[in-house]
Amino acid sequence: MTRVAAIDCGTNSIRLLVADVINTPAGFTLVDVHREMRVVRLGEGVDQTGVLQTGAIDRTWAALSDYTAILRASGATSVRMAATSATRDASNRNDFVEMVRRTLGQDPEVITGNEEAELSFRGAIGGVAASGGPYMVVDIGGGSTEMVIGTTNNVQVALAGSASVNIGCVRLTERLLHSDPPTEAEIDQARQLVTHVLSEGLDSLPVASIKTLVAVAGTATTVAAAALHLPTYDPAKIHLQRISATQVSEVATLMLGATTAHRAALGYMHPGRVDVIGGGSLILDTLVQLVQDRVHLDQITVSEHDILDGLALSLGQ
């Protein structure tokens, strides 16, 4: 058993996982010690300016400082921190790296989109039956969307292809969805952009081979909570739930048609997702439709496990 800590710093949120990595006959598994997420919106305005704002870095520092204290107190023997889309795109990312170095005592890994996709796949597939492959794992983040196809026998992973495209819930909302709620013209323009960007990514992948579509991260889990009509957010009820394509579309219509106040009043809605869940659900709905055009799949499997779990597993193997 090895106790490790993983930190995932994305465009919208920063998350911590402290876990014990257990080597079993069926492969490496994780036992959570501490799991936490905070919305810091590190990528606020990056799509327009190309620069990380001082306030965004400060918000991230406050969360990272707390996380560092937690993981040190836990006895974690190794730490891996990944920074994704917003940091890749920012001209002043060295300011962020220096902040992390001073706070955590080591540099973050500013990973590529393909590295992000592989880690998301490894984290997401844990717990999903190996007989359901090949899988396509989709991670809709704040600034980008990662898509990766592969198989697993619960011990080894074989990847068939991956793609990272620069469209995510924060980037799309800041760029096109300005009204409250978005107008039909804004929604149409956003869907056209998303369709174009996602299609380019999907065209580079062997989509026709997949049997199971797995969606991870906050957009997908929030859509699942809505589809399941949960009164509050409950990870245990969301993890590995199957949601139909029709349900995804219905939730996207709901989120895009709701005002900010309406979305904020939903019991399962995290405050940090209120303003971007419309854009995120549009991306997920469009992606499901595009996949259906290429292979007959009428549902998605939603996983609470993703890149954060992949980072932790990589430290214990």
For residue 251, the model assigns a pLDDT of 98
- Among 3.30.930.10, 3.30.420.40, 1.10.3720.10, 1.20.120.550, name the CATH number for the domain at 2-113: 3.30.420.40
Distance, in Å, from the CA atom of 30 to the CA atom of 1, rounded to the nearest integer, reads 10
Q: How far, CA to CA in Å, does 274 sit from each of 59, 67, 254, 270, 307?
A: 18, 24, 13, 7, 22
What is the reported pTM? 0.84
One-letter amino acid for residue 191 of the chain = R
Distance, in Å, from the CA atom of 36 to the CA atom of 88, rounded to the nearest integer, reads 23
Give tens-digit pLDDT for 96-149. 999 999 999 999 987 776 777 778 888 888 766 656 789 999 999 888 898 999
Give tens-digit pLDDT for 188-232. 999 999 999 999 999 999 999 999 999 998 999 999 999 999 999
In this structure, how many other beta carbons lie within 10 angstroms of the beta carbon of residue 186? 17
**Shared fold status for 2-113 and 127-303:** yes
The dotted CATH code for 127-303 is: 3.30.420.150
The ranges assigned to domains in the chain are 2-113, 127-303
Which carries the bigger pLDDT value, residue 12 or residue 178? 178
Percent of the chain with pLDDT over 70: 95
DSSP labels, 219-262: HHHHHHHHHTT-SS--HHHHTTEEEEHHHHHHHHHHHHHS-HHH
Give tens-digit pLDDT for 232-263. 999 999 999 999 999 999 999 999 999 999 99
Give tens-digit pLDDT for 26-41. 667 889 999 999 989 8
Q: How far, CA to CA in Å, does 244 sit from each of 128, 297, 302, 311?
A: 17, 9, 11, 29
